[in-house]
Chain A
Amino acid sequence: MLHIYCPHCAETREEEEFRPKGEAHIARPVEPEATSDEDWGNYLFFRKNPRGLHHELWYHAAGCRKFFNVTRDTVSYQILETYKVGQKPSVTADKGAAK
């Protein structure tokens, strides 16, 4: 059971209150008409799916019903941080995770 800190509620709650919504920080193509099929495909379907640190979007479905981001290890399932949408993660794979 994951215990997740919701940055909006400022409380740690159990996994069952939340819904994972996939990879975070995915930007929609700014000019839809000028976007190639390949870029649309990439935007819609291709995901990083890393073995290790992953930035993902979560939804506090049974709580404040707000979205936020989580940095989580996909092997150990350890949650390293949670942060609001629009903010940048402080832990990234290239910067190295807190051990």
Chain B
Amino acid sequence: MNHEHVTVQENKTSHRQLFQYDPVLGYKYLPSLKMRVAHEGGGYLIKTNQEGFRCNIEVTTQKQKRKRILVFGDSYTAGDGVSNGKRYSDVLEQNLQDVEVLNFGLSGSGTDQQFLIFQQYSMKIEHDAIVIGLQVENIQRNTVKNRMWSDRDGQPLLVPKPWFEMSAQGDLKLMGVPVPAPYKADSKNVSKEGHFAILRNLVNMLGSDFKNIVQKLTRYQPLPDYNSAHNSSWQLMKSILTQWIADAKVPVIIAVIPVYQYVQSSARYSNIRKRFDEFSKSSGATVFHVIDELWKYPIDIRKTFRFQNDSHLTPLAHKVIGEALSKELAPIMEEN
């Protein structure tokens, strides 16, 4: 799968603009936004703080009375499809005593952009723990320089992003900053995938049930990047995480968030588990496989952890993940 051509939609379903250009991250949510997005799940409320994150709490340098957890991730963390107050970060906060949880999730982002967000804020604000909500597809987003969006009129738009390159010594070098502004895609840079793209669009058009059947029949394995410890995408992901954990002065939990093929057991999770467990062993980082919690439920329930057409997590999945994470984090917060 080439993520340069995965389409992200700027919300045509709303009268409001959700994102704005950002020279470091490529884009960010608009600050102090209140917006409801029509959605197959019944619609959801997006509220952002003054810093432009989908967070109910304003970012202050110093903690107030409560301890503070910072949560990073992509749309699964920011909560596409789910209202503020019902995401796993919100459930986490509701389940922990005297703890505030700041959600720094950014839809469509890679781990690289999430790390840059951490760098912008980690020095500035007091915190006690960090959760990296690592959606497994982020590994591919780290390797691309731009992503295809559709603008409010449904026209293709290329949105550049920053990226990291690794030196021979394994050091990370930030590239592409300042990030160029988004630009209208033309026929030259829209489709380079030929018949494969046509086939994929056709399958997507026929609906999620048909897509699931096709994937099952073809034994589709979505993320080959995790198959080998030597894979360059995995090496890059590992470097970013290593640097992140080294920079963090507090406990870090990497919550590995699976996509639905793993949740519904149509694809094998074993290589992903292997890579992150190896990483945990070598770095000492705490890795929490979210899938172990989701697999506790029968397949009929697991199917409701995603929306029918939109593969993002439902409120139920957020609840399960938030409750499980709170059990992981409770002892850490008590220790600190």
Say if A and B assemble together.
no
- Enumerate chain A interface residues (CB-CB to B < 8 A): none
